[in-house]
Amino acid sequence: QVHLVESGGGVVQPGRSLRLSCAASGFTFSSYGMHWVRQAPGKGLEWVAVISSDGNNRYYADSMKGRFTISRDNSKNTLYLQLSSLRSEDTAVYYCAKDRGEMAINKILDYWGQGTLVTVSS
C-alpha cells in the first residue's frame, strides 16, 4: 500500500528558508519520479517541481525556478523540497505525489500525500 507523508511545514518569515520532506513507503521508491504540488488558500492545485527516479533530471514551474530545489535520497525513500527566499504568495499546502510511470516521468500523479502547510508571514 503506497503511503506518502509530508513534514517540515510551519510558519516562516519572508525571505527565510524551509525544507520539506516526504517519506515514501509501499512501493519501490527508486523506480519512480516524484512531484511536489501546492495549493494556496482558496486556490487550485499548482504543480511545483518533478524529479526523475535517479535524481538526475529536475524540472520546475517558472515562478519557483531558482528559489526552490527538489531532491531525493533513494537510500532513505525520502523526497525533499528546499524552499528559499520565501514570499507571502508561497503560503500553501504542499503535497508530494508519485508519478505513475516506472523509470520515466509521465506527469500522471497516482498517489498523493495529505500535505504540509507552509505559512510565510512576518
Residue with cell 525513500: 77
CB-CB contact of 96 with 35 (8 Å):
yes
Q: In this structure, what are the phi and psi dihedrals at residue 34, rounded to the nearest 5 degrees?
A: -135, 150
Q: In this structure, what are the phi and psi dihedrals at residue 61, rounded to the nearest 5 degrees?
A: -65, 145
Q: Does 52 bind another protein (CB under 8 A)?
A: no
Closest to another protein by CB, 27 or 111: 111
Q: Which residues contact 76 (CB under 8 A, 6 or more apart)?
A: none
Q: Does 102 bind another protein (CB under 8 A)?
A: no
The interface region with another protein, picked from 13-21, 73-81, 84-92, 109-117 by CB under 8 A, is 109-117
State the binding string over 53-92 for another protein (x if CB under 8 A, else -): ------x-xx------------------------------
Q: Of these, 41, 44, 56, 122, which contacts another protein (CB under 8 A)?
A: 44
